Amino acid sequence: MSGTPSPTDPTEPSIARVYDAFLKGTDNYEVDREVVRGVMKAAPEAADLAVENRAFLIRACRFLAGQAGITQYLDCGSGLPTAENTHQVVQRADPEARVVYVDNDPLVLDHSRALLEGSETAVIVSEDIFEPERLLSNTLVRSHLDWDSPIALLHMGTLHHYNHEETRTRKDIMRAYIDALPSGSYVALSHFLDPEDEYSETARMMERMFLHSMMGSGTFSTRDELKELFNGLEMVDPGLVRCSDWRRDDPPAERNAAQQCIAGGVAHKA
């Protein structure tokens, strides 16, 4: 993901490490935990954003591997390794499933390379996920995946951190990825959802969270704006919904403010 300190700087927070701290991981620094404490003090529900996003990733991967039969994955902005990484989920359905992780946070790269050392099916490459043309021309990305066969593109909680809409829109970035995907491919995406009601509990929670964190550059989008990121692809049932509701056996009867703030969906390229 772009915008992360390079090389690793323990005095500056990193989006990947802050997410890791939210997930109660160990690959973070005090400066990252300080961000989490500030966010939790301002908006205690905020930790559920990271949890729901990760749970959606796992359910989406189970669907893609188990029901859609996808054997290739391009995971953009993969973040620090944690429990149930993409390759671990999909390789339960097919041990030969191939995964390319993409990130450019130095700590993410170091930990992922250590985790994947010796693997013939999963690799990580260092690229800016907001520069799709360069990423897609990466030699390892081209060689590790078969670009004549379906691929699942994963953009989980990434695009809301992109803040250069004046030069290139998120829709333009996604169009570049989608145009490059072979027929039969899938796109799975999650993003901060704008509640479209400035007086709602959700909106107030979001404001508190972003005023008290390094993630203030994050951008929320309306449901219609999120649908546009799929560039007209056919949505898989149940469509674009809150992540906590997507193909979950026991969706919450009531959602807290954070669970209302992140939506996701999976779409198919015919």
Tell me the per-residue pLDDT of 20-65, one tens digit each, with 9 for 90 and over: 787 777 778 888 888 888 877 777 777 778 788 999 999 999 999 9
Is position 7 within any domain? no
The CATH number assigned to the domain holding 119 equals 3.40.50.150
Q: Which domain, by its residues, includes 67? A: 15-268
Domain membership flag for residue 4: no
255 or 169, which is more confident = 169
pLDDT 10s digits, 171-212: 999 999 999 999 999 999 999 888 776 557 666 666 666 655
Q: How many distinct structural domains can be found in the chain? A: 1
Domain membership of residue 249 (yes or no) is: yes
In a domain, 108, yes or no: yes
Q: Is residue 9 part of a domain?
A: no
On whether residue 138 sits in a domain, the answer given is: yes
Q: For 93-104, what is each residue's pLDDT tens digit? A: 999 999 999 999
Q: DSSP secondary structure string, 45-108? A: GGHHHHHHHHHHHHHHHHHHHHTS---EEEEET--S--SS-HHHHHHHH-TT-EEEEEE--HHH
Residue 6 covered by a domain:
no
Please indicate, yes or no, if residue 39 is contained in any of the structural domains.
yes
